[in-house]
Amino acid sequence: MNRLDFHTKIAALQQLDKTKTVQHRIGICCGAGCISSGSEEILKKLESEVQQRGLSEKVEVIPTGCMGPCNHGPLLKHLDQHTIYQKVNCTNITSILQQHVIEQTLIEDQLLFSDSRTNAHADYRADPFFKKQCKIALRNCGKINPESIEAYLLQDGYKALDKALFEYTPEEIIGEIKHSRLRGRGGAGYPTGIKWETVYKYVNNEKYVICNGDEGDPGAFMDRSILEGDPFSVLEGITIAAYAVGASKGYAYIRGEYPLAIKRFESALKQARKWGLLGNQILGSSFHFDLEVRIGAGAFVCGEETALIASIEGKRGTPKPRPPFPAQSGLWGKPTLINNVETFAAIVPIVLKGGEWYSEIGTAKSAGTKVFALAGKVNYAGLIEVPMGTSLREIVFEIGGGMQNQASFKAAQTGGPSGGCIPIEFLDVKMDYESLLSLGSIMGSGGLIIMDEHSDMVDVARFFMEFCMDESCGKCVPCRVGTKMMHDLLQKICINKGTNKDLERLEELALYVKETSLCGLGASAPNPLLSTLRHFRSEYETRIHPSQDTVQDKNQSG
């Protein structure tokens, strides 16, 4: 399909959409979380009710991706009136259809937020969970059918690729990405434009683009939700990146625990090929690019770039020393660009609106927005996207609705097993790369676990160390042996058998492992331990019994 045919088909699609007589577009969340609570059955029930009542021309039922407030699902959203109902089931769906759609009366006790109940024209966007969010990577999640390319095209889908191919040179696209100040959202925060430029400058007849969808942090579900809720946006971003760096082949590496994300992304690939948006001579241009899905086996270490590359090549997923970096010598020794799902999801709006628009969001050094998986002891847990620099306090007490059961906030774990704990005295910290790093934590991929006064910080450190110990590939001694030794010492302290010397050994080991491990897994594994020791040392000390030191010294001297 050439460019003219594409625009003709888009115009016809838009005209067909305008002729619809639909007055009510009802979205049912069919993200993995709501599906686990029965949303697919609810969807079928609502579709059946609409058909039986003869409302098919007035009511359109749409399966969507994640809507955000996951712990209140299954969710139903009236997409035109911006009203969300919570805890929907096959029984109350009939009354929602009757009262809200037919009788046009709000069912107040099922509205998601109490603030909406005082307003006859409830708009969920005015509620605390939504009003401080800024959705760029999540712009289509919970809004469109993720398995319909037509739905995506009606939201200006593939307009950015069309613009890139026919209005920009690769250098100009890279220039816009650099100007946007977008940093990689996979954890390290490396400037995306500079990474693209590095791959572009390496002359080779073969280059690759890889989408890293191997999200493995405990409690994290950002990339999974984007792939489930807006796969075409990620695919379009990957294709633009391939054009910019000169790649003709790509791989999406998605972990096997994400079957719905894999299904929807593979469906997006098939539909894009059918529309001529993937494959040879895309939109009639000279640009060729195709993409395959590679399913990861669930090894956490394969989130590291060189280990991921090894896995795609059919080898054991273990890291390699760098340099050379993947941009120089990556997949099968060729220049390779690797970005994660959220990074690619931000590319389309940057190309459409310009790098300057994106760079004005966020802070001076951390531009744009960040998607977080807000989990733990907050009232509204789920998927959120906020401007960089939003404070932790705003996220917990405004977006998250405060602590459950009116408990006291104690700490927030950012960055998963590679991150650290932020105590209450730093509740006003800005959620950006530099601010978190100054507290001994990291942004990571976006996991954000909130803990209350009942949380045991020593046990938190033990949990994350056990995770890193289990997930170590074993290639280097510092990580393989060091994480095991640190875990055993933490376990000893947890059962009140630790000594002051054990604390000294823990800190010494943490520094050795951090400085000498081959890859980021080992280098960051001590972070939760070090941050809890820094901010909650008293919890360690209360478990230490001086008498144990005396016993240990006697045993050693004997």
C-alpha neighbours within 13 Å on the C-beta side of residue 48: 9
Distance between CA atoms of residues 553 and 469, nearest Å? 28
What residues in the chain have per-residue pLDDT under 70? 113-124, 546-558
Position 556 scores a pLDDT of 55
Position 108 scores a pLDDT of 85
Instruction: Give the Å distances, CA to CA, from 293 to 37, 42, 92, 362, 401.
Output: 28, 30, 39, 33, 38
Helix (H, G, I), strand (E, B) or coil at 256: coil
Helix (H, G, I), strand (E, B) or coil at 249: strand
**β 447-452/369-376 pair status:** parallel
Position 118 scores a pLDDT of 47
Instruction: Give the Å distances, CA to CA, from 77 to 21, 25, 73, 243, 319.
Output: 19, 8, 11, 37, 44
Q: Which of 254, 220, 216 is nearest to 235 (CA)?
A: 254
**Helix/strand/coil (H, E, C) string of 138-166?**
CCCCCCCCCCCHHHHHCCCCCHHHHHHHH
Mean pLDDT of the chain: 93
Helix (H, G, I), strand (E, B) or coil at 423: strand
Distance between CA atoms of residues 64 and 145, nearest Å? 5
Position 122 scores a pLDDT of 59
Position 187 scores a pLDDT of 78
Position 114 scores a pLDDT of 47
CA-based torsion, 177, 180, 183, 184: positive or negative = negative
Distance between CA atoms of residues 234 and 248, nearest Å? 17
Distance between CA atoms of residues 414 and 533, nearest Å? 16
Position 188 scores a pLDDT of 79
Position 116 scores a pLDDT of 45
For the chain, list the domains and their CATH numbers: 21-130 (3.40.30.10), 149-357 (3.40.50.11540), 369-455 (3.10.20.600), 458-548 (1.20.1440.230)
Contacts of 147 (CB under 8 A, 6+ apart): 63, 264, 267, 268
Please name the amino acid found at residue 265: F
